[in-house]
Amino acid sequence: MKNINGRPDNYKSHCSKFFIFELLILIICPLPRLEAFITIDYVVEESPKLSYARIAQPLSDYILAFMFLRLLFVFRSIFNYSIYTDPYSKQMC
């Protein structure tokens, strides 16, 4: 069934914010041999003067930390394929 604009009624459900969030989680992955670094300057306070410390962290560390969000898919699969999601219980809810 189509709405007034000629699009299917379920058009908005395909482009929801949660779908875009899941897509970003799946797209981001560390690239092999990626040697990019992120440098952050910290202020180190010492008694006579202020000095700065520059710390370089690999970009792959941040990407790996973001990839832990993929555990959400594991938890969602556990709940979706549990014993309480048979066709009868889906029909009741």
Select the more confidently predicted residue: 48 or 3: 48
Q: What is residue 39's predicted lDDT score, i.e. its pLDDT?
A: 94
* Model pTM above 0.75: no
**For residue 22, which of 77, 83, 81, 87 has the smallest C-alpha distance?**
77
What SS3 state is found at 6?
coil
For residue 91, CA distances in Å to 4, 9, 60, 77, 83 come to 30, 22, 45, 19, 14
Is 63's pLDDT higher than 90?
no
Neighbour count for residue 70 (Cβ, 10 Å):
13
Select the more confidently predicted residue: 11 or 48: 48
Contacts of residues 80-87 at CB distance under 8 Å and 24 or more positions apart, as own/partner, are none
Region 42-56: what's the mean pLDDT?
81
